């Protein structure tokens, strides 16, 4: 199913780029856009995860540089039966986390330093288990490509604003319309990502960590803080925000996540049924480098 979604997203990108190419350059522009789309699709498939990580200025950490945080991810990956993903930290006060990569063998998970400072150890483990749930459910390819594709669409629309359209074909007006329609089209592409994806990752995260209550608590804390603390990456590129465990700022209008309240209610119901595995971890906070606070 995710392969089909990815193919449809690539086809949508190609079609939109050709429309924009024709708008700004006629039939020649459409041909150039088709060639560019082919190259972009190929590059995006193999490098979307690197683009997203670079966009966030994420830095890779290991057992030496962030022993406790890395150890949490390692234990959770073992619980989930997954290969060990690469682990990254993003230096920002905005609390959030995301997963990326085209498949479980090429996955990466990232958390912000703000998230590590805000949450206790059990909550951090539950959040990272949610991200590994995305990896296990093979959501990450579609999520990552949507972020890069929607960003590319917005960039091309802005490019058209400066260079105008094919005025001999009434392209001046069409160019202005394309500038406004391209971000809307990017929003439609994002809305194609089912909200059930987040419920599935919440359920998988609760099972992997064995602690749905900790995930519910973490969601409440992150959601509240995300409304107060700016997220520079999401402000520059709202398309990237659908990667996060909790949407931020303008990303809420992209409607890729169910409401946090509904997600918490589902986790509380899961806790009440006792549908968990694993033994949890001791509560404590983590410092920005992932070492346990004394």
Annotated active-site positions, please?
Answer: 131
Distance CA 231, CA 173 (A): 34
Burial of 162: CB neighbours in 10 Å, binned 0-12, 13-18, 19+ = exposed
Buried b (16+ CB within 10 A) or exposed e, 3-32: eebbeebbebbbebbbbbbbbbbeeebbee
Distance CA 47, CA 235 (A): 22
H helix or E strand, kind and range, residue 182: helix 171-191
The number of CA neighbours under 13 Å toward the Cβ of 179 is 14
Q: Which of 245, 247, 224 is nearest to 98 (CA)?
A: 245
H helix or E strand, kind and range, residue 70: helix 67-80
Contacts within 8 Å (CB) and 24+ apart, 241-244: 242/143, 242/146, 242/147, 242/190, 242/193, 243/52, 243/98, 243/99, 243/100, 243/143, 243/144, 243/147, 244/96, 244/97, 244/98
Cα dist. 11→7, 163, 186, 194, 200 in Å?
Answer: 6, 25, 13, 18, 26
Measured in degrees and rounded to the nearest 5, phi and psi for residue 87 equal -120, 135
DSSP 227: T
Burial of 263: CB neighbours in 10 Å, binned 0-12, 13-18, 19+ = buried
């Amino acid at each position: 199913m995710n392969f089909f979604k990815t193919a449809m997203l690539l086809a949508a990108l190609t079609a939109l780029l050709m429309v924009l190419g024709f708008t700004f350059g006629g039939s020649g522009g459409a041909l150039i856009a088709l060639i560019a789309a082919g190259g972009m699709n190929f590059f995006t498939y193999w490098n979307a995860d690197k683009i997203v990580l670079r966009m966030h200025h994420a830095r890779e950490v290991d057992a030496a540089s962030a022993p406790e945080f890395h150890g949490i991810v390692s234990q959770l990956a073992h619980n989930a039966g997954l290969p060990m993903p690469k682990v990254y930290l993003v230096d920002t006060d905005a609390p959030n986390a995301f997963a990326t990569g085209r498949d479980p063998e090429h996955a990466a998970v990232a958390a912000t330093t703000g998230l590590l400072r805000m949450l206790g150890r059990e909550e951090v483990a539950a959040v990272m288990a949610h991200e590994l749930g995305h990896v296990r459910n093979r959501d990450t390819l579609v999520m990552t490509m949507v972020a890069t594709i929607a960003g590319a669409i917005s960039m091309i629309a802005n490019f058209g604003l400066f260079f105008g359209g094919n005025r001999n074909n009434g392209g001046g007006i069409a160019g202005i319309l394309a500038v406004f329609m391209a971000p809307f089209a990017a929003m439609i592409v994002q809305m194609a990502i089912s909200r059930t994806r987040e419920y599935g990752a919440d359920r998988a995260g609760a099972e992997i960590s064995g602690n749905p209550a900790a995930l519910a608590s973490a969601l409440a804390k992150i959601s509240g803080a995300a409304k107060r603390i700016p997220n520079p990456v999401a402000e520059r590129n709202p398309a990237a925000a659908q990667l996060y465990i909790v949407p931020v700022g303008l990303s809420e209008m992209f409607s890729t996540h169910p409401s946090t309240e509904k997600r918490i209610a589902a986790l509380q119901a899961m806790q009440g049924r006792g549908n968990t595995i694993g033994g949890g971890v001791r509560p404590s906070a983590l410092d920005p480098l992932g070492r346990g606070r004394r």
